[in-house]
Amino acid sequence: MSDMHSDVSHILFDKEAIAARMAELGAQISSDYADEPPLLVGVLKGAIMVMADLAREITLPVEMDWMAVSSYGSGTKSSGVVRILKDLGEDITDRHVLIVEDIIDSGLTLSWLRENLLTRGAKSVEICTLLRKPEAAKVEIDVRYVGFDIDPEFVIGYGLDYAERYRNLPYIGVLKESVYS
Ligand code: IMP
Ligand code: MG
């Protein structure tokens, strides 16, 4: 009953698949930013696992910082109105910033965040997300690095939660309907 694996209906990406993709993205980022290492900005809490694994696949001396944001809105849909719960500790003036995110659904949170960081004087603001849902394609948001494109299902694990749980699953899976209905 308290075994979280039994709440998973099926696995989308296992440990090995995630590690292989992180290695590819890390190599790509290392080559793209070879001239000037970026400041990685992880979006708490979902991006903790991606940040930890991706950063170790990057061969450049990157810096890391964190933000926590919450989108106002009812239920599970984000509204696009964003509140900063925890702000950066670093000055990003003239820095290349790479936002590290767990998943892009509507894209509203990230388009707000990118604009916000640009107005602070960042030299560039790019986005790396582990997962992207089809909705994101509808918003004018250019995402440079995408781990996997997925169907519009609710996924958990590897940082992603349902009601704050399942972040520690070592894979990405789909939650059983019986858990939330
Ligand atoms: P949006 O792109 O503004 O709609 O918001 C994306 C945020 O919603 C992500 O950072 C997650 O916190 C959350 N989210 C969206 N889809 C999922 C999912 O399938 N599982 C877990 N969290 C999700
Ligand atoms: Mg998130």
**Which of 24-38, 64-78, 143-157, 167-181 is predicted with the least confidence, judged by mean pLDDT?**
64-78
Higher pLDDT, 33 or 79: 33
In ligand 1, the atom with minimum distance to the C-alpha of 155 is 19
* Cβ of 180 below 6 Å from ligand 1: no
Q: How far is the CA of 136 from the centre of ligand 2 (A)?
A: 13
Looking at all shown ligands, the one closest to residue 107's CA atom is: 1
- Provide the residues around ligand 2 (an ion) whose CB is within 5 A: 43, 46, 102
Catalytic annotation on 3? Answer: no
In ligand 1, the atom with minimum distance to the C-alpha of 153 is 19
Q: How far is the CA of 3 from the centre of ligand 2 (A)?
A: 25
List the Cα angle 136/81/99 in 5-degree steps. Answer: 55
* Cβ of 107 below 6 Å from ligand 1: yes
pLDDT in tens, 37-64: 999 999 999 999 999 999 999 999 999 9
pLDDT confidence of residue 35: 97
Q: How far is the CA of 114 from the centre of ligand 2 (A)?
A: 14
Reported pTM: 0.93
CA distance 181 to 165: 16
